[in-house]
Copies of this chain bind each other. A is one copy, B any other.
Amino acid sequence: MTPILNYVVSKWQALSTSDHASVVSINLFVALLCACIVIGHLLEETRWMNESITALLIGMFAGIVILLVSRGKSSHLLLFSEDTFFIYLLPPIIFNAGFQVKKKQFFVNFMTIMLFGAIGTLVSCFIISLGAFQFFKKMDVGSLDIADILAIGAIFAATDSVCTLQILSQDETPLLYSLVFGEGVVNDATSVVLFNAIQSIDLSNIDARVAIHFLGSFFYLFSTSTLLGVFVGLLSAYIIRKLYFGRHSTDREVALMILMAYLSYMLAELLDLSGILTVFFCGIVMSHYTWHNVTESSRVTTKHAFATLSFISESFIFVYVGMDALDIEKWSFVSDSPGTSVAVSAMLLGLVMVGRAAFVFPLSFLSNLAKKSADEKITFREQVIIWWAGLMRGAVSIALAYHQFTRAGHTQLRGNAMMITSTVTVVLFSTMVFGLLTKPLIKCLIPHPKLTTSMLSDPATPKSFSVPLLGSAQDSELDLDNLHVSRPTSIRAFLATPTHTVHRYWRKFDDAFMRPMFGGRGFVPFVPGSPTERGGH
């Protein structure tokens, strides 16, 4: 491999034209992604590894090889760019998560998820900022103003939903998955509000009015982002249902679904909303309505194509981060004072752990108070896993750190360089060490995960194997029907919790108004020569 790389790198350095350099980097990245898939497949049996760590290690290995071949000049072929990350890589991952999420689990735990995602992130951000402020005064870190300190809080308070997807399994631990992943989605909105607030609010006098203003803008942002996602999702369902796209072409249906999902994300970004929230809810609506209006082959195609796009984006992010982690420029400032750098990283990691503990356990307690039946409460062991699984910081943190600390020539400041390297250190350490230990930890704390899923009806998991073409996105609805059909008069179901009552009203509304309008399972009439199965384009 080395002679080839040698040739590639020398060729890359010899040619100054940007387009040839990009051809070389694309080749290298695509080859590395192929390697990730093959090696990830071979390591599938190993319980300790997961795909993100494999990709991270492959990226770092490639970075080392490039570093050696280029004689210490550079370790990466592409600069890590926030644009690439937020515009191209993140949307497919979050959309697919919404598309494949078990909707029932998500909405049953909606209040807990909101608590964790909104209040939890604020608590965590506050603790990390306060801690960083206290510690940085004592350390020789460089010039960081109050806005930088608050930004550090926002950067490290955000749970990385991409990492969560890799660590927790929706099939094995559905409750934990929906709580931790849902929190990751909701706290994106919190982060956007926090970042805007840091830039606009006068930080010298914080009073009740500011707090109310802050809460107001959070709810405004949350509701508008959600509504935009729901609106675009419903629009796609309506268009595909009314126009019978399947009559002419399966490919057009798939193209329209992909494009409208992406449009929802980009519209949210254009209107300064939370793109992650929007595209997540767009995915949920599309899997609930649109997906049922398309032909059978479109269903199979969208299910796997979205998952594949998400998989490629995830691998790309981790290879990218691994390669970028070794960037020699970033470390040159830190090499003067390695002790301080290690201390800052360790301190931040500690603050992340404390900040997360400070909200997971109290808020779980609050959430348990609201639940009446014992098997719905979050046990202490589950709380430990929720705390642990949300400790990972990933590409989102790195992208935010680049955004805050590399603007407008600020890169050369010592404090900024230190923050970038500390972020990279925290991300690498948390992803690798916490990531590696999560699977064994879950095994150790919850030997039989099925018993803890706290679901009303039968667990949906086995169905994803018996109904392969429908898959997990639809299992939740099969469950909803079981619930709906088998115990319509059961008093226990009525009295269980308020969430379930809301759920029943939603079901009624869905059946009476939404499904006849937008389609959905069982509501797509068979029109001869219409959405039935036909050949290609």
Enumerate chain A interface residues (CB-CB to B < 8 A).
8, 19, 22-24, 26-27, 30-31, 33-34, 37-38, 40-42, 44, 82-83, 87, 100, 239, 243, 245, 248-252, 254-256, 258-260, 262-263, 266-267, 269-270, 297-298, 300-301, 303-305, 307-308, 311-312, 315, 464-465, 468-469, 471-472, 533-537
A327 to B258 CA separation, bound complex (whole angstroms): 29
Say whether B34 contacts A254, CB under 8 Å: no
A31 to B262 CA separation, bound complex (whole angstroms): 10
Say whether B258 contacts A297, CB under 8 Å: no
Identical chains in the assembly: 2
A309 to chain B, nearest CB (A): 9
Say whether B535 contacts A472, CB under 8 Å: yes
Residues of B within 8 A of A255 (CB): 33, 37, 308, 311-312, 315
Say whether A42 contacts B243, CB under 8 Å: yes
In the complex, 22 of the A-B residue pairs with CB atoms within 8 angstroms, ordered by the A residue number, are A22-B87, A23-B87, A33-B255, A34-B260, A37-B256, A38-B243, A41-B243, A41-B245, A41-B248, A41-B252, A254-B305, A254-B308, A255-B311, A258-B308, A297-B468, A301-B303, A301-B308, A304-B536, A307-B536, A464-B536, A471-B536, A472-B535
Given contacts A34-B263, A251-B308, A255-B315, 15 further A-B contacts (CB under 8 A): A27-B270, A30-B266, A33-B255, A34-B256, A34-B260, A37-B252, A41-B243, A41-B249, A100-B536, A251-B304, A251-B311, A297-B303, A301-B304, A307-B537, A472-B535
Say whether B37 contacts A312, CB under 8 Å: no
The 10 closest A-B pairs by CB, nearest first: A301-B304, A464-B535, A254-B308, A251-B307, A305-B305, A300-B300, A251-B308, A30-B263, A27-B266, A468-B533
A38-B243, A255-B308 given as contacts; is B267 within 8 A of A22 (CB)? no
Partner of A469, one of B30, B297, B315: B297
Of all chain B residues, the one with the shortest Cβ separation from A27 is B266
Say whether B270 contacts A24, CB under 8 Å: yes
A100-B536, A243-B38, A533-B468 given as contacts; is B24 within 8 A of A312 (CB)? no
A134 to B345 CA separation, bound complex (whole angstroms): 73
Say whether B23 contacts A270, CB under 8 Å: yes
Residues of B within 8 A of A250 (CB): 304, 307
Of all chain B residues, the one with the shortest Cβ separation from A44 is B248
Residues of B within 8 A of A27 (CB): 263, 266-267, 270
A425 to chain B, nearest CB (A): 27
Partner of A31, one of B31, B40, B263, B303: B263
A229 to chain B, nearest CB (A): 15
A34 to B255 CA separation, bound complex (whole angstroms): 8
Residues of B within 8 A of A83 (CB): 19, 22
Residues of B within 8 A of A44 (CB): 248
Residues of B within 8 A of A472 (CB): 535-536
Residues of B within 8 A of A305 (CB): 254, 301, 304-305, 308
Residues of B within 8 A of A243 (CB): 38, 41-42
Residues of B within 8 A of A40 (CB): 252
A23-B87, A259-B33, A269-B23 given as contacts; is B312 within 8 A of A535 (CB)? no
